[in-house]
Amino acid sequence: METISENRSFGGVQGVYRHASNTCGCDMTFAVYMPPQAEDGPVPVLWYLSGLTCTHENAMAKAGMQEHAAEHGIALVFPDTSPRGDNVANDEAYDLGQGAGFYVNATRAPWKTHFRMYDYVVNELRDIVVKQFDVQDRHGITGHSMGGHGALTIAMRNPDLFESVSAFAPIANPTQSDWGRKQLSAYLGDDESAWADHDATLLLEDKGWKGDILVDQGQADQFLDLLKPDALAEMMARRRQPGTFRMQKGYDHSYFFVNSFAGDHVAWHAERLQ
C-alpha cells in the first residue's frame, strides 16, 4: 500500500492511499480519515460510498465529515466508485464505465474483467482497512446517490458485516429507473432476476434490515424521478421497517445537501457503533 498524502485534520489524519487490487485488476485509490481518538486505541469505521462521476476525493473534500468523525471518534473510509486505468473498459456516457461502477460484480464483457466493486468494498478493501489501520471490526456504511444505493444494498446483503446503514438521496429503486436499468443490463445482462440483489427497495421487501435505517432526501432534488425515493419510503412503511425517512425542504442533489446533514449521519452511526 502506497501513501499518496497525509494531512492533519481536526486533530486526526486524513490520508489518501493506493494499492494494486487483485479484485479489480488495477491500481485502486482510497482515502481514510483517522480521528484523534485512534491514538489511544482502535475506533469503529464508517464507510462512505460516493455517486456517479465521483472519486474518493469528492466526499473527502466536500462532505465535511471529518469534524464530526473527530467529535465522535470514528474512522471514515472513502473508496473510489470504479476501477480506473487505460486498460479498464469505459464508455463515453458519464453514467456507465469508469466513475459508475454501481457497486456490483459485472458478469458481462467488457466490464467483467475489472468492474467488481461489490467484492472490492465488501471483501478486499475491508480487509486492508482492518489490517492496516487501527480500527475495530465494527462498521457502518452510508453513501450518496449511486453510493446510497450501494450502502443500502451492501448492508442488507451483509448484516453480519455492518452494524448500521444510512443514505443520502439514494438511487432507491434502480430496476425501475434509467439510473439502474441501463447500468444493470450492461454489467449483469438482460435477465432482470439478477438485478434484484442490487435494488434497495426489492431487498428491503425480501430481507429487511436488522436495525433501523436513516435516509435523507432533498425535496428540491433535480433527479427525483430517477432516484425514486417514494418506492423506498413506501416499502419501509409496508414492511414496517424501523427507520427514519426525511424529506428535506428546499435541498437539491449537491454536496451542499450532503454537508448539511453529514453531522446527523455521523452521530447516528456513532450511537449504533459505540
Q: How far apart are CA 51 and CA 105, in angstroms?
A: 17
* Set of cell numbers at residue 141: 456504511
Q: Is 79 helix (H, G, I), strand (E, B) or coil?
A: coil
CA angle 103, 104, 105 (to 5 degrees): 135
Beta 164-168 vs 26-34: how paired, if at all? Answer: unpaired
**145: annotated active-site residue:** yes
From 114, 139, 221, 265, active-site residue: 221
Q: How far apart are CA 155 and CA 105, in angstroms?
A: 16
Beta 164-168 vs 2-9: how paired, if at all? Answer: unpaired
From 9, 50, 82, 145, active-site residue: 145
From 149, 253, 265, 269, active-site residue: 253
* Contact call for residues 141 and 155 (beta carbons, < 8 A): yes
Active site (catalytic) residues: 145, 221, 253
